[in-house]
Amino acid sequence: MKVKDLCLIAAMAAIEMVVFTSFSFVLYLECITFTIILFAMTFTRNQAVFAAIVFTILNLSIQGVTPWSMMYCLIYPLYSFLIATLRPFLNKHFLCLVFLCALLSFLSGQLVQLPFMLISKKVTLLYILSGLQVSIPQGIVSGIFCFICYKPVYNILHRIETRNLH
């Protein structure tokens, strides 16, 4: 890996950490999924996935290692990989990208509940059902946020990235 890639990955992970931490205080506004998608659509698959991995390691070091925080180690790198793989299709179908952002944001809230299965299937089901009251509006808000903010922010990042290639 080149030094430029390592620096970019570190910067992206730091931005993801700031976004995750800053917006966690605003109910229903979950911007980390949008940020993960934006980076996966702008940069290479390896850069986006490694940034998500570094972000989740940073997150673990701050939040502590719990089954719930460990879920982020699976969720966000997989989201980066999925989006980067689907990039050719998503570049042509903006509304699919918006829908996917909403869906993945919704799923983030639900997938984090899975470690409760270590305790009990009934407890997990209760947490998933009670989590719907947050996850559904969170998905809707993320979709709207993506619809409004994706193109302007992507255009800026894309211009920066294409300048760096030359």
Q: Is the dihedral of CA 77, 79, 84, 85 positive or negative?
A: positive
Rounded Cα gap, residues 66 and 138, in angstroms: 23
Rounded Cα gap, residues 159 and 157, in angstroms: 5
- pLDDT tens track for 65-96: 887 788 889 999 999 999 999 999 999 999 99
- pLDDT tens track for 116-125: 666 777 777 7
- Residue 100's identity, in one-letter code, is L
Give the predicted TM-score (pTM) of the model. Answer: 0.88
Rounded Cα gap, residues 139 and 133, in angstroms: 11
